[in-house]
Amino acid sequence: MPSPIVVVSDALPGDTVAALEVTCEVRHVDGRDRPALFAALPDADALIIRSGTRVDAEVLDRAPRLRVVARAGVGLDNVDTATARARGITVVNAPDSNTVSVAELTVGLIVASVRHVKAATRSLTDGEWRRSDFVGAELAGRTLGIVGYGRVGRQVARRLAAFDMRILAHDPYADTAGGDVRVTGLDELLASSDVVTLHLPKTPQTTGLVGARELALMKPTALLVNTSRGGIVDEDALARALREGRPAGAALDVFATEPPGRSPLLALPNVLGPRTWEPARTTHSSGPDGRSSRRSSRNWTRCSAPRPPPPERPHPHRRSPPCLLPPQPRPCAH
């Protein structure tokens, strides 16, 4: 009996590929190269993707034998799940695999932003010593607003509660959050929070959720963080708001189009991140570290061996960084 053919269209860890090769014939293709992807699909029994491959009706039309689409990660916004299931193709993901990785990057982006780590590092490597220009802010006693209180949002809350932050959450599916987290409306959360972090799937309802009106509600000293999906924030509106200083800064791991090309956000000194699309932006890297990739593979590798399916750059250091979070009065020590 011939081995099932599994097409891998985005990069996977070597041990994941090795596990598949025990029982499957694995073929690699660049999912962003549509002609190459189309050519690889006629014999495919399974297709394994990350966020770089768009699986729409046109792709499914080229894959008459396809039984499984496996997403090595959480989001399925790049998969036409309705068409796939209508054709008897099982769609699976790994919803818990990246939770900790995304939550940790979110915390890192927040701390790096309010402490001006990127701009201070650049200044230092340019031979400058401008300590007073990069005085940061404490998170203790500030208010964190979490939009989307699912797996990742809860892990972010757990970590930042340890920083003694007050925590608000907004989620249409959560009436209560437990502990010291208070559930509130989106407008109140935006107006009250010093840091707003987004943890939502991209759906028709969440696309453009944060636009000009919502940004205008935020404090002028606030920070907006998005490690979930590009397109949830209106990027043109965010660029205008950041130029006007409300909010003071943003930390972005995702963009509506990736790579983001000529996004107006790329030239702004108050858009921060630890790695690079451009010097101060990240590369949609919040999910796949080595361990989270292996967790993904354990969750869905067995699904990829097909079975009968169920029915279903300006230089930011040349100017002082934005004023993120105003100073707080300290109680006197007795």
The residue behind tokens 């010093």 is 194
Residue that wins the pLDDT comparison between 220 and 314: 220
pLDDT confidence tier of residue 326, bands split at 50, 70 and 90: low
Q: Are strands 90-92 and 143-147 parallel, antiparallel or unpaired?
A: unpaired
Q: Outline where DSSP puts E strands in the chain.
A: 5-8, 25-28, 46-49, 68-71, 90-92, 143-147, 166-170, 181-183, 195-198, 223-226, 249-252, 271-272
pLDDT of 218 over the 50 cut: yes
Give the pLDDT score at 208: 96
Give every CB contact of residue 153 below 8 A, 6+ residues apart in sequence.
Answer: 146, 147, 169, 171, 197, 199
Q: What is the pTM of this model?
A: 0.72
Q: How far apart are CA 44 and CA 26, in angstroms?
A: 10
The fraction of the chain above a pLDDT of 70, given in percent, is 81
Give the pLDDT score at 192: 97
Q: Range with the lowest mean pLDDT among 55-69, 250-264, 319-333?
A: 319-333
Give the pLDDT score at 130: 86
Give the pLDDT score at 183: 94
Give the pLDDT score at 280: 36
Q: Outline where DSSP puts E strands in 151-194.
A: 166-170, 181-183
Residue that wins the pLDDT comparison between 167 and 117: 167
Mean pLDDT for the chain overall: 84
pLDDT confidence tier of residue 216, bands split at 50, 70 and 90: very high
**Residues making up the chain, counted from first to last:** 334
Give the orientation angle of helix 99-114 with respect to helix 151-161, to 10 degrees.
50
pLDDT confidence tier of residue 319, bands split at 50, 70 and 90: low
What are the beta bridge partners of residue 183?
A: 169
Give the pLDDT score at 294: 54
Q: Range with the lowest mean pLDDT among 104-118, 121-135, 137-151, 210-224?
A: 121-135
Q: How far apart are CA 107 and CA 113, in angstroms?
A: 10
pLDDT confidence tier of residue 310, bands split at 50, 70 and 90: very low
Give the pLDDT score at 77: 85
Tens digits of residue pLDDT in 40-83? 999 999 999 988 899 999 999 999 999 999 998 877 889 999 99
φ and ψ of 35, to 5 deg: -60, -40
Residue that wins the pLDDT comparison between 49 and 287: 49
The predicted model gives 209-228 an average pLDDT of: 96
Give the pLDDT score at 170: 96
Question: Which helix (DSSP H) or strand (DSSP E) does residue 7 occupy?
Answer: strand 5-8
Give the pLDDT score at 74: 78
Please check whether residue 198 is in contact with residue 169, taking contact to mean a CB–CB distance below 8 angstroms. Answer: no
Give the pLDDT score at 329: 56
Tens digits of residue pLDDT in 1-36? 789 999 999 998 888 889 889 999 999 999 999 999
DSSP string, 125-144: HTT---GGGG-----TT-EE
